Chain A
Amino acid sequence: MALISPRTIDLKTGHAQLALQKHIAGCARAIRRVIWHMRLRDYVIRRLLLAIPVVIGVLAITFVLAYVMGDPVGIYTQERTSPEAVEAIRRAHGLDRPLYEQFFFYLRDLASGDWGYSVSARLPVTQVIATRLPATIELSLFAIVFAIALGIPLGILSATKKDRWPDHVTRVVALAGVSMPIFWFALMLKYVFFFQFYMAGLPALPEGGRYTFTVLPYTPITGFLLIDSIITLNPVLFMDGLVHLILPGFALGYLTLAIITRMMRSSMLEVLKEDYITLARSKGLRERVVIYRHALRNAMIPTVTVIGLAFGGLMSGAVLTETIFSWPGLGRWSTRAILNSDIPSINAFTLLVAFIFVGANLVVDLVYGALDPRIRYG
């Protein structure tokens, strides 16, 4: 009886608080939500399945890479190692087995977390990654956020004020970003904001490192300094980490900023010529609404592609920045590994970069789906 007898009428919604009615409406809402999520989930699953062949391909290539760079036994031997000893090592590491068997061993080892020993870091590869990957991700994320936060508004400004002074200024900024070699730009940043500021008695920015390790204690939990400092409620460390990110993040992100700006400008100009913009104007909408509601979402689609690719590029391309700013990330370690023919490290680095590219592309695809309904249901 409680289910069907009416109680009170809600003044705001006008819904009679009928338990049964409410229940049915709630169910319908839930079902609709589930359907929507199923559509989204299907889309995500499709994208994930498509990533599998890519990952397998990358694994095969990194595996073969070890052989391309010479006899893998070479790392463990010296000139005076006897041929018998060489053979023993070869057998011990399974290097005398057929190639396909070795590939499966390789996959098994990767899956079980045994990524080999990094000679150049004198640590197991997984441990090196655990400490260095967060540092690189933190730097890259900072750089990409900086590049997006500045690049997209600059691109829009440039497109809407085409051939007027904001466009010319933006063009010079972007051109500088593309043409300056990153090592030169990074050194100049250090020279001005660290050295000259310091000499002039101004608050100088730190010249390198992730934090002031001489003063502040830091024990990694997740490895992400900013996150760890929040977890441990340490605002001093957080600010210190942030200040240390500014120069390397700016140096690393400037090129991406330039690319995003130009991409945003050209796609915005393209979209502003579209018929639906004329329609939006014919409705009597303000120019600001036309640009930010009707044009921006369409113009974001090509820009998102560039951002995804750029993020992968940042992760692998941070070598110079990390070297100049003594940033304890993947870049410096991988350079050393390459110079020392440290194959497990090189393989691990290649794999990581590949995963990051796959992941970035996946995110790009999802953002596509969010931006454009034709892709979502396509």
Chain B
Amino acid sequence: MVASQDDTSIETTNDIRLDSDTLLLVRGLKTNFYTYEGVVKALDNVQFELKRGDTLAIVGETGCGKSVTAKSILRLVDSPGRIEEGQILFQDVNEEGENVIIDLLQSTEDEMRKIRGNKIAIVFQDPATYPNPVFRIGDQIAEVIALHQDLSRDVLEMKIARLEDALRTNPDAENVEEITTRIEEYKSQLDSPPPPTDKEKKEAAKKRTVETLKLVRMPSAEQTINQYPHELSGGMRQRALIAMALSCNPRILIADEATTALDVTVQAQVLKLLNVLKTELDASIIIITHDLGVVAETCTRVAVMYAGVVVEYTNTDELFSDPIHPYTSGLLRAIPKITEKVEHLLQITGTVPNLIHPPSGCRFHPRCEFATEICAQQRPPREEIKPAHWIECHHPQGSMKGRKR
């Protein structure tokens, strides 16, 4: 039968079923960078998923591929980087309200553009370099809104509000009747609004920009839209970047070290804000960080990355109470406790490997105290060692210590 032959071949996007609450599934993602020194294998078989309403943390040291993962999801990896293989399945809701699954790596550039900034938005690391220095903050935000949102209803509502306002303040105007009929006419159009002109669209986008800035608790939003990035402080700029990302109510917000460049107080504010906004906007968040404190406070799930591999993936409480991968337990041990006096900070010996020639087998084995021969020869398979707790390790620790395979 023809159909059975199809089944054995590579499954197409249509065949894939995702749990209805899975928003994003990254599977077997592999990204390489072709540099003069050689091929940097930045991501190798990265796998994790994001559930609806979750806050997923991707943690790891500098250079372990966190940002590359984020950029790969949006297909923003610049030359000389290339996404080699894998699947990034995004469960979207189409206009009829049905769930559709899109493989972002198979989409065309046009389809990707409709997703970027609209369905999946990203907040980048450095508020000093990411806003364009020569454009006003408001224009930069309004640009995204005008690009992705249908503003025709906004325009119509704006017109109605303006006329009603005028009526309220001038009840004895000469042409009250004309105005009322006009308002009625506009109201009847609300279900199928006429396409607005560019000028009206701009005005509506500006109004939404102010609303978005207010959403991220930007003080004096009306003035801020006319300011240039260099006139704002780092925290304000970060808020503006978050507003830019949130302006189209994305389903997924990726915060790529969004708080790292900020000082601790502002950092706390921004994190709190992200969590509040998540519930307000019904979005899911991926937070990329190297700060385990941030993870503990804000995230529900964690993917620990090491040298381009997700070594452990579970929910936050589980990770902190029962770290199973030696790298994770090493990381957690390295956090100094506020209740104990320490002479020397604990560290994981060795450094992050050069990914042009990554270690054979398990990429962590040269630094791992439990490593044996098999670790150097064979990459450990990804397995669900406890319910909802995945690791890639030959020698699990924690509660699974000494377990025979």
List 27 interface pairs A-B (beta carbons < 8 Å), by A numbering: A6-B173, A7-B174, A9-B163, A9-B166, A9-B179, A11-B178, A13-B162, A14-B162, A15-B166, A274-B129, A275-B129, A275-B130, A276-B131, A278-B71, A278-B130, A280-B132, A281-B76, A282-B74, A282-B124, A283-B116, A283-B117, A283-B147, A284-B114, A285-B113, A294-B135, A298-B132, A371-B134
Residues B178 and A285 in contact, CB atoms below 8 Å apart: no
How many angstroms between the C-alpha atoms of A79 and B298 in the bound complex?
A: 97
Residues B175 and A285 in contact, CB atoms below 8 Å apart: no
Contact of B117 (CB < 8 Å), options: A11, A282, A371:
A282
Least Cβ–Cβ distance between A374 and chain B, in angstroms: 5
A-contact bits for B164-185, CB 8 A (1 contact / 0 none): 0111011011111011001000
Q: List residues 140-190 of chain B with CB under 8 A from any CB of chain A.
A: 143-144, 147-148, 159, 162-163, 165-167, 169-170, 172-176, 178-179, 182
For residue B131, which residue of chain A has the nearest CB?
A276
How many angstroms between the C-alpha atoms of A275 and B162 in the bound complex?
A: 40
Least Cβ–Cβ distance between B45 and chain A, in angstroms: 25
Additional A-B contacts beyond A278-B76, A298-B133 (19; CB < 8 A): A9-B170, A9-B173, A14-B162, A14-B166, A16-B166, A276-B130, A278-B124, A278-B130, A282-B121, A284-B117, A284-B144, A284-B147, A285-B113, A285-B143, A285-B147, A286-B113, A294-B135, A297-B134, A373-B230
Counting from the closest, the 4 A-B pairs by CB-CB distance are A14-B162, A284-B116, A283-B117, A284-B117
Question: Which A residues contact B (CB, under 8 angstroms)?
Answer: 6-9, 11, 13-16, 18, 274-276, 278-286, 294, 297-298, 371-374
How many angstroms between the C-alpha atoms of A13 and B253 in the bound complex?
A: 37
Residues B159 and A8 in contact, CB atoms below 8 Å apart: no
Residues A283 and B133 in contact, CB atoms below 8 Å apart: no
For residue A278, which residue of chain B has the nearest CB?
B76
For residue B171, which residue of chain A has the nearest CB?
A6
Residues A16 and B170 in contact, CB atoms below 8 Å apart: yes
How many angstroms between the C-alpha atoms of A91 and B182 in the bound complex?
A: 90
Given contacts A6-B170, A8-B175, A14-B159, contact A282 B116 (CB under 8 A): yes
Question: Which B residues contact A (CB, under 8 angstroms)?
Answer: 71, 74, 76, 78, 112-118, 121-122, 124, 126, 129-135, 143-144, 147-148, 159, 162-163, 165-167, 169-170, 172-176, 178-179, 182, 228, 230, 241, 244
Residues B159 and A294 in contact, CB atoms below 8 Å apart: no
Contacts of A285 in B (CB 8 A): 113, 117, 143, 147
How many angstroms between the C-alpha atoms of A281 and B117 in the bound complex?
A: 9
Least Cβ–Cβ distance between A234 and chain B, in angstroms: 41
Least Cβ–Cβ distance between A8 and chain B, in angstroms: 5
How many angstroms between the C-alpha atoms of A278 and B117 in the bound complex?
A: 12
Contacts of B122 in A (CB 8 A): 282
Residues B130 and A279 in contact, CB atoms below 8 Å apart: yes
Contacts of A276 in B (CB 8 A): 129-133
How many angstroms between the C-alpha atoms of A6 and B132 in the bound complex?
A: 45
How many angstroms between the C-alpha atoms of A61 and B134 in the bound complex?
A: 40
Residues A372 and B134 in contact, CB atoms below 8 Å apart: yes
Contacts of A280 in B (CB 8 A): 132
How many angstroms between the C-alpha atoms of A374 and B228 in the bound complex?
A: 8
Residues B116 and A8 in contact, CB atoms below 8 Å apart: no
Contacts of B118 in A (CB 8 A): 284
Residues B167 and A9 in contact, CB atoms below 8 Å apart: yes
How many angstroms between the C-alpha atoms of A272 and B113 in the bound complex?
A: 18
